[in-house]
Amino acid sequence: MAEQYDLIVLGSGPGGYVAAIRAAQLGLKTAIVERELLGGICLNWGCIPTKALLRSAEVYNHMKHAKAYGLAADNIRADIEAVVARSRGVAKQLNQGVTHLMKKNKITVHMGTGVLKAPGTLEVTGDKGVETLTAKHIIVATGARARDLPFAKADGNRVWTYRHAMTPKEQPSKLLVIGSGAIGIEFASFYNDMGTEVTVVEMMDRVVPVEDADVSAFLEKALVKQGMTILTGAGVESLDVSASGVKAKIKGKDGKVVESQFSHVIVAVGIVPNTENIGLETLGVKAERGIIQIDGHGRTNVKGVWAIGDVTPGPWLAHKASHEGVIAAEAIAQELGNKDVHPHAMDRGNIPGCTYCHPQIASVGLTEAKAKEAGYTLKVGTFPFIGNGKAIALGEPEGFVKTVFDAKTGELLGAHMIGAEVTEMIQGYVVGKTLETTEAELINTVFPHPTISESMHESVLAAYGRALHI
C-alpha cells in the first residue's frame, strides 16, 4: 500500500523544510524526502558552515591587528583543523535542529532518493528499500550543485569545489580561485585572512559582477590592499594537476597567457540544478537548461507538481527558496480548501543579496547602471563609513552606502552597501522597498545613534543634497 499525504516535499534544504513546516502549520499531512542530510546544502555544506569559517577568520584577523585597538596578542596562529571542526559542529547543531522541527510539526521524513513516477506519485529508494508515496501535491526542492569546468574537474585533492574547500585536508599555501561570485569571493576572503596567498581570476571586467559597479571597484581595492591578486577580464586556459600542485595557464585581459603554480584551486563558476533523473521528463514538466519553469506561486505546467529554490529561476539564494516554500505551501493549502490563506507572488526585485567576504557586501533592487538602462531619471546618494562615528570607533571605517531613487516619484529603486556588518543592515531597505517607501519616509525615519545604520540615513539625505556628516 502506498503511503498517502496531502503534500510531499522532495528535498529538505531551506526551501523544502520550510515549505513542509508551513504546510504542516496549515493542517496538511506532509512528508519530506531527503537523500543525504536534513537541511540540505545550506545548513550542512553552504550558507551556515561557511559563515562559521568566515567568523573564525574575522576573529583571527582582529587578533593580528590587536595593536590597532590598544591590545597585545603575541604568538597567535591559525589551527585550520580546529577551525573546520568548529564549522562542522555548527552545521551538525543546525541539522539536529531541523530534525527536531520535523518531529515537532509531525512531518514524516523518508530518507532516500525520490523519483516522480506519475502525477501525485513518488518512489523513494533508501534504507527501507523502495517505498511508494502518493499525494495530491508534490514540491520539487532538490537544490543545485557546483558547476564543473571541462578542464578543471574537482578531485578533492588539488582541485576543489566549495564542499572540498569547507573541509580541507590541509591549508593551501598558494590558492587559485576561479570565479568571483559570492562563493568564490567568500572562500578567497577566508583563506586570505587565514594566511594563504590568494589569486582570483574573473572572466568579467570586475569582481562580484552582479553588484553595483562602485561596490565592485571598492571591493577590488580592498582585496588588493589585503594582499590578494585580482585578475579581471581573464580566464583560465588549462590546469595541469600533479601530486604536488597545479600549474595554471591564465590568459589576461591583454591576451597574454602566463603559467603560474598553485598548491590548490577552487572552482566557483556557478551551479547546476539537480533536476536530472527525478522523473520530470516522465511527467512532462517544463524546464529550460534544467531550470524548472514556474508561475509566481511555484506551480509548474503539470497540475499538482510545484517547484521552489535553486531548481527554479534565480536568484539562487537560501532566503529566496524559503520564501518560495511558504508561498507554495500556502497556495497548495488554498487549493485544498483553506480560505484563510492568501498567498502572494514572489517579487524578485525585493530579494536582497549578501556576500560575507571582508568587507561584507549587501544589496537589493536595481544598480545605478540597471536603473539607467530601465529609463529612470535618478537621484543617487552615497555616504562613506569614514563619516560614521560608530564605524570609526569599531576600527572599520572602510565602506559606504549607496541609494538609488526615481527622481520623479521618490521611489527607492535600489540600495548597495559594502563594509562592516552591512549584511545585518540591508533588511532596512528591503522592508522599505516592500512597503514601496519613498525618500520622504526614509528621511523622516529616526535612526539610532551611534550605529553604522546611520550611514543608511545619510545616504538617502545625500541623494537629495542634505547629507549632514560629509
Whether the upstream peptide bond of residue 359 has omega within 30° of 0, thus cis, is yes
Query: Which residues of the chain are modeled with pLDDT < 70?
Result: 1
| Residue 169 confidence (pLDDT) | 87
Contacts of the segment 338-343: beta carbons below 8 A, 24+ positions apart: 338/26, 338/27, 341/26, 343/297
**Which residues are catalytic, by number?**
449
**Residue 156 is placed in which grid cell?**
578533492
| Helix 318-335 with 16-25: angle, nearest 10 deg | 30
Residue in this structure with the C-alpha cell 551611534, named with its chain if needed? 450
Q: What is the DSSP string of 122-173?
A: EEEEETTEEEEEEEEEEEE---EEEPPBTTB---SSSEE-HHHHHS-SS--S
| Residue 7 confidence (pLDDT) | 98
What b/e string do you get for 305-329 counting C-beta neighbours within 10 Å, with b at 16 or more?
bbbbbbbbeeebbbbbbbbbbbbbb
Please write the tens of the pLDDT for every residue from 227-251. 999 999 999 999 999 999 999 999 9
Cβ atoms of 461 and 443 within 8 Å: the answer is yes
**DSSP 3-state of 238:** strand
Nearest to 325 by CA among 5, 17, 3: 17
| Helix 16-25 with 80-104: angle, nearest 10 deg | 30
Alpha carbon dihedral 204, 205, 207, 208, in 10-degree steps, equals: -60
Name the amino acid, one letter, at 207: V
Cβ atoms of 267 and 152 within 8 Å: the answer is yes
CA–CA separation, 61 and 43 (whole Å): 25
